[in-house]
Amino acid sequence: MKYLGIEPQKPKIAVFDFTGCEGCQLQLLNKEETLADFLSAVEIVCFREASSLCSDDYDIAIVEGAVSRNDEVKRLEKIRETAKVVVALGSCACFGGVNRLKNEFDLKAANKEVYGKDPKETINVRPVKDIIPVDIEIPGCPVSKAEVESLICHVVWDSPFQLPVYPVCVECKQRFTTCLFDIGQMCLGPITRAGCNAPCPAGGIGCWGCRGPAVEPNYKSFFAIVKEKGFSDIELKERLNFFGAFGEVNVS
């Protein structure tokens, strides 16, 4: 059976990095207990961070990072021409990620502040889907390796693949974490898509929404609760804006 035009055989995979921290790629080399199996199920033909070989013959392009320079636009267009499936890996690729916080500043002034009289080329940060069509998005800052593995299984064996539709709260409660709202902190868990196993509430910093909205989040009642608990619109907006994953949601 074909999936997006690919025969179920060892798919040729290429990994590319754009503007980001490369932490998502690193997850591909993690999960040591299944690493060998993972690598034997696929043929990695290009993965600059891990290998000196690179071929232009690939089925799946895994793209990490956002776009913040014109040469990156051209590189992406070439990748789209070659690949049958383009996967956006991580919050930078899916939404622009934290890099998007740059867009709130005047780029000329920003450049002057960092580089003085030798400015470097830079454009407003955009997610991959703003440049080329993307077939599959795996959000997360960083991505969960388990999700990447199930995506690969899906492409190779056509096993079902779906990001969780429910919010982070579900996973958070399964871990028996004390709800942060009960100790006076904010958390985007009720409106954010699960799949990360809720590490941030467990660590005490609350969810910052790196995986983007859950399916049909109830923004209205969530915002009402946040306000009722005494948080300001600015605090809420800053959190929603942090990974660029909630677009132009209106908090009032």
Partner 1 sequence: MKININVDVHHLTRVEGHGNIKIQVKDGEIKEARWDIVETPRFFEVMFKNKHYTTIGILAARICGICSISHCLCSIRATENAFKVTIPETAAKLRLLAKHGETLQSHLLHVLFLAAPDFFNEPSVLPLIEKKPEVIAIAARLKGLSNRLCDTVAGRTTHPVAFQVGGVTMVPQKRHLLGLRDELKRSLDDLQIVADLFSSFTLPNFIRETEFVSLKGEKEYPFIGGSLISSDGVEQKEQDYRPMTNEYVDKNNTSKWSKLSRESYAVGALARFNNNAQLIHPKAAEVAAKLGLKPVCHNPFMNNVAQLVECVHVVHEAIRLIDELVESDPGETMAKVTPKAGEGVGAVEAPRGILFHHYKYDKTGRILKANCVVPTTQNNANIHHDMKSLVNKFGLTKEMTDEKLELLCSMLVRSYDPCISCSVH
Q: Give contact residues for partner 1 (rule: CB under 8 A).
A: 17-27, 29-30, 32-33, 35-36, 39, 44, 47-54, 68-69, 72, 97-99, 101-102, 105, 110-111, 113-116, 118, 120, 122, 141-142, 199-200, 202-205, 208, 238, 242
Distance CA 220, CA 102 (A): 28
Q: Least distance from C-beta 100 to ligand SF4, angstroms?
A: 11
Q: For residue 42, give the amino acid letter.
A: V
Write the interaction track for ligand SF4 spanning residues 44-73; mark x where CB under 6 A is met and - where it is not.
--------------------xx--------
Q: Does 134 participate in binding ligand SF4 (rule CB under 6 A)?
A: no
Give me the least distance between CB of 190 and ligand SF4, in Å please: 5
Interface with ligand SF4 (CB under 6 A), residue total: 36
DSSP label of 207 = -
- Long-range Cβ contact pairs of 19-23 (< 8 A, separation 24 or more): 19/65, 19/66, 19/67, 19/68, 19/69, 19/72, 19/92, 19/99, 19/125, 20/64, 20/65, 20/66, 20/90, 20/92, 20/93, 20/97, 20/99, 21/92, 22/49, 22/64, 22/65, 23/90, 23/141, 23/142
Write out the residues near ligand SF4 by the rule CB under 6 A.
20-24, 64-65, 90-92, 97-98, 141-142, 168-169, 172-173, 177, 179-181, 187, 189-190, 192, 196, 198-201, 207-211
